Structure 1
Amino acid sequence: MTTDSLRSGPLADGSRERGGGLPLREHLPAGPDPAACGVPVLDVAVPVFNEEEDLRPCVLRLHEHLSRTFPYAFRITVADNASTDSTPAVAAALASELRGVRYVRLEEKGRGRALRTVWSGSDAPVLAYMDVDLSTDLNALLPLVAPLISGHSDLAIGSRLSRSSRVVRGPRREFVSRAYNLILRSSLAAGFSDAQCGFKAIRREVAERLLPMVEDSGWFFDTELLVLAERAGLRIHEVPVDWVDDPDSTVRIVRTAVEDLKGVWRVGRALAVGALPLDRLARPFGDDPRDRALAGVPCGLARQLVGFCVVGVLSTLFYLLLYSLLRLGIGPQAANGGALLVSAVANTAANRRLTFGVRGRAGAVRHQAQGLVVFAIGLVLTSGSLAALGAASGSPSHGTELAVLITANLAATVLRFLLLRAWVFPARACHDPEDVR
């Protein structure tokens, strides 16, 4: 089989044609006997390069394990990365001998390229891969893919750095692995524990959206895939594994480390400038329970309150900075008025995008006009409170003025949020995201 014969079909619910978000995660139905099933539930890719000695025992062992323990139909795909030894002949022989084994030949090297090719062409709803040396105990395979089959998670990875993992490897590889994952945590804010373990799985509909965004075709492919998935809000399940280092591994640690660091820089820069279209994967599947319209629970209220508070703090700091700059050239009243006006416009724009999720230019001018009205109401409330205090007390103390201002500003802030939510950005934007994007 060649790469030209591999094609990825549309999603079952047609979401590819719609170009929208990912479909709902659903528990995959239990299939018939693997021997009688045409479409497997699981497709395990084994990327190889010049593995003529290890390939046959690896595939035989994996096939026997899956036949004995896996309750669904499966397939094993040997992805040959332009091997120059007898690996192609061994792989072809295995594909002809064993049911559920196929062989794909690539004329270019690269583990990421091999995985992209076989995953893009697979019809299985769950896709996985493992290294040919089978360093990871196969008993972790079912726990790895079970959350994907059940619909609980989007990706799954084996972790050698979990407390309950049992790992046998030399100090050099141990240091490199931990240092690399520390770099990922500090530079890309990665939350997963082990990016390099050759034991991962992904749901096909997720792979169809993520793979076009992944640029790397080598060893950094795994890391880039995981970072993008995590930044997009996808759910990554980690499985502790038992892992024994392969002393005959052909991986060049120094060269791989350098390429990985280049990949970290590239992905970090792309994320910093917003060059990746992760918004198409944000809020994946539409099955977030916080999106459900429940009786008596306003849609998204908690998140809107948090966003409103964050925007309020930032706009206040912006106002103080702007007032200080304007005060250098004009009087206090003019500086205060100018700073309040500009910060109010910025506050409305930030709340429009971040708090209430309204995107695009449609209605922006109207929203700004309504925001200024809301701002004026709050200004009248605070100024009126001070005026009422002066009329009632004559010459109130500074402490009394501060207490009245704090109380008035709290009331104005609550009123501002309620008016923004009910009048400027009504709740329909929360229930119908297609209207605001």
Structure 2
Amino acid sequence: MEPMTTTVLPGAASYSAHVPQGAVLDVVIPVYNEEKDLEPCVRRLHAHLRRSFPYPFRITIADNASTDATLGVATALSRELPEVRAIHLDQKGRGRALNAVWTASDAPVLAYMDVDLSTDLAALLPLVAPLISGHSDLAIGTRLSRGSRVVRGPKREIISRCYNLILRGTLATRFSDAQCGFKAIRRDVAERLLPLVQDTGWFFDTELLVLAERAGLRIHEVPVDWVDDPDSRVDIVATAVADLKGIWRLGRGLATGALPIGYLRQQVGRDGAPKGLAGQLVRFAGVGVASTLAYVAIFGLLRLVAGAQAANLLALLITAVANTAANRRLTFGVTGWRGAGRHQMQGLVVFGLGLALTSGSLAALSALAPSASRLVEIAVLVVANLAATVLRFVLMRAWVFNQTKATLAG
């Protein structure tokens, strides 16, 4: 048996544990007043990992300010089982406990699960395998997939689905289940994300996932078999209120640019704003198609009450502003208000070049075919506008947003 060690974590009291060297996976079990359920949970998890997990592992019991015998049970388990350690924090908060343990852990893959073990442990290896291989950055268990098997009451089912719908509507999330207590993250990714996560309670998971998704990280989802704990002591109303406050705070930070998502994406992102030319071309083409359709519609409407040159000018101006804003966010990954005015001014320069190209096309058509039909006129403008779009991409990539990337990287 290895000698017991004593370490101090940020925001935590000292703990004693048998810490195996070279653990690949560190599974954290955050607990508060769980003296009854803690021991059977840890023994069951420990036996499962010993039996079926092919890598060295560690189980960390994170006792966050329990007032019953939870810490005593955790300490006894850490003395008996070599792969188990116990940590005590003086303040409550699941997010606080996870942040403290994950920040200090030396394992390359970090995970956590609830003490009630509502999730079938058979999903643990599928959860962490993509992280160990490097394929994915985070992994979550989902109860809302078609392949999931879930047993729980209608009240919690409705609340869970409504919460995830709210996230999709307000923060444009794409992951399916933010609240399942069964998640994992690579340590190198956690080192980048955790300093930005402010919540110390139940919203911690959601905030971490939203930041990861906005940064372009790959989130792996695993359908789980999940059985609701009928004795859960979670205050649903208080948790819902805290979650809504968290959504508001996070949404405001994303909208104002207070969160450095662009810089974070450059450091760890895979695909949020593609670094390569091919990915940017795909996004830019999508914005370009939408802009071209909008331009045609606006020009056609304005042409009913104005001449061709005036209609072209106004249609181009309107779509140019929208195009710059869309490409700023979607193609080149710049968020927040910083530099937005400068980008629009530079975008107007690009607009001027597009205007010269399309207006020149109209002038050439008028000179060569004075009696050309409205359909021919629009067709010429579409071709000219597509050419202007190619020019816009080159200038935006090499000039308008290239300066922003250099600033963020510095």
Q: Name the TM-score, length of structure 1 as normaliser.
A: 0.76
Q: Does 1:408 align with 2:388?
A: no
Task: Decide whether aligned partners of structure 1 residues 305 and 39 sit closer, same or farther in structure 2, where only a CA change above 3 A counts.
Answer: same
Deviation at 1:383, TM superposition (A): 1.6
Q: Which of these residues, 229, 236, 240, is aligned with residue 219 of structure 2? A: 236
Q: Which of these residues, 126, 144, 150, is aligned with residue 127 of structure 2? A: 144
Residue type of the partner of 1:166? R
Task: Decide whether aligned partners of structure 1 residues 189 and 346 sit closer, same or farther in structure 2, where only a CA change above 3 A counts.
Answer: closer
What SS does structure 1 have at the residue aligned with 2:61?
Answer: strand
How do 1:277-296 and structure 2 match up within 5 A? 277-282=260-265, 285=268
How do 1:160-171 and structure 2 match up within 5 A? 160-171=143-154
Task: Decide whether aligned partners of structure 1 residues 303 and 192 sit closer, same or farther in structure 2, where only a CA change above 3 A counts.
Answer: closer
Query: What is aligned with 1:417?
Result: 389
**Alignment partners' CA distance in 1, 2:96 and 2:180:** 17
Task: Decide whether aligned partners of structure 1 residues 231 and 316 sit closer, same or farther in structure 2, where only a CA change above 3 A counts.
Answer: farther
**Alignment partners' CA distance in 1, 2:98 and 2:52:** 24
What SS does structure 2 have at the residue aligned with 1:243?
Answer: strand
**Alignment partners' CA distance in 2, 1:171 and 1:352:** 43
Deviation at 1:377, TM superposition (A): 3.0
**Alignment partners' CA distance in 2, 1:223 and 1:271:** 14
Task: Decide whether aligned partners of structure 1 residues 368 and 191 sit closer, same or farther in structure 2, where only a CA change above 3 A counts.
Answer: closer
How do 1:300-379 and structure 2 match up within 5 A? 300-313=280-293, 339=314, 342-343=317-318, 346=321, 349-350=324-325, 353=328, 357=332, 369=349, 371-379=351-359
The answer as to whether partners of 2:396 and 2:402 remain within 8 angstroms in 1 is: no
What SS does structure 2 have at the residue aligned with 1:215?
Answer: coil
**Alignment partners' CA distance in 2, 1:136 and 1:248:** 15
Query: What is aligned with 1:94?
Result: 77
What SS does structure 1 have at the residue aligned with 2:118?
Answer: coil
Query: What is aligned with 2:9?
Result: 3
Q: Which of these residues, 189, 200, 203, is aligned with residue 186 of structure 2? A: 203
What SS does structure 1 have at the residue aligned with 2:100?
Answer: helix
Deviation at 1:291, TM superposition (A): 5.2
Task: Decide whether aligned partners of structure 1 residues 348 and 4 sit closer, same or farther in structure 2, where only a CA change above 3 A counts.
Answer: closer
**Alignment partners' CA distance in 2, 1:84 and 1:344:** 61
How do 1:10-49 and structure 2 match up within 5 A? 38-49=21-32
The answer as to whether partners of 1:323 and 1:339 remain within 8 angstroms in 2 is: no
The answer as to whether partners of 1:136 and 1:241 remain within 8 angstroms in 2 is: yes
CA RMSD of aligned residues (A): 3.8
Q: Deviations over 1:394-427 (max 9, x none)?
A: xx3xxx42133123212312332343445x4576
Q: Deviations over 1:296-338 (max 9, x none)?
A: xx674333322323344556778899999xx9xxx96996587
Task: Decide whether aligned partners of structure 1 residues 147 and 113 sit closer, same or farther in structure 2, where only a CA change above 3 A counts.
Answer: same
Deviation at 1:121, TM superposition (A): 1.0
Residue type of the partner of 1:226? L
The answer as to whether partners of 1:41 and 1:126 remain within 8 angstroms in 2 is: yes
The answer as to whether partners of 2:138 and 2:186 remain within 8 angstroms in 1 is: yes
What SS does structure 2 have at the residue aligned with 1:80?
Answer: strand
Deviation at 1:281, TM superposition (A): 3.3
Q: Deviations over 1:138-163 (max 9, x none)?
A: 11111111111111211111122222
Residue type of the partner of 1:60? R
Deviation at 1:87, TM superposition (A): 1.4
Task: Decide whether aligned partners of structure 1 residues 216 and 366 sit closer, same or farther in structure 2, where only a CA change above 3 A counts.
Answer: closer
Deviation at 1:186, TM superposition (A): 3.3
The answer as to whether partners of 1:154 and 1:236 remain within 8 angstroms in 2 is: yes
Query: What is aligned with 1:65?
Result: 48
**Alignment partners' CA distance in 2, 1:99 and 1:132:** 19
Residue type of the partner of 1:44? V
Residue type of the partner of 1:120? T
Q: Name which one, 1 or 2, has greater alpha-carbon Rg.
A: 1
Deviation at 1:112, TM superposition (A): 0.8
Aligned residues with identical type, % of pairs: 52
- Say which is worse superposed, 191-200 or 334-343, in terms of deviation: 334-343
Q: Deviations over 1:225-275 (max 9, x none)?
A: 222222332221111212222222221222222222332333334334443
Task: Decide whether aligned partners of structure 1 residues 62 and 178 sit closer, same or farther in structure 2, where only a CA change above 3 A counts.
Answer: same
- Say which is worse superposed, 204-213 or 335-344, in terms of deviation: 335-344
Residue type of the partner of 1:4? P
Query: What is aligned with 1:15?
Result: none
The answer as to whether partners of 2:141 and 2:177 remain within 8 angstroms in 1 is: yes
What SS does structure 1 have at the residue aligned with 2:265?
Answer: coil
The answer as to whether partners of 2:164 and 2:176 remain within 8 angstroms in 1 is: yes
Q: Does 1:220 align with 2:203?
A: yes
Residue type of the partner of 2:138? L
What is the total number of aligned residue pairs between the two structures?
391
- Say which is worse superposed, 148-157 or 262-271, in terms of deviation: 262-271
**Alignment partners' CA distance in 1, 2:41 and 2:325:** 56
What SS does structure 2 have at the residue aligned with 1:44?
Answer: strand
**Alignment partners' CA distance in 2, 1:343 and 1:425:** 18
Residue type of the partner of 1:408? V
**Alignment partners' CA distance in 1, 2:153 and 2:327:** 54
The answer as to whether partners of 1:385 and 1:404 remain within 8 angstroms in 2 is: no
Query: What is aligned with 1:258?
Result: 241
Deviation at 1:59, TM superposition (A): 1.4
Q: Name the TM-score, length of structure 2 as normaliser.
A: 0.80
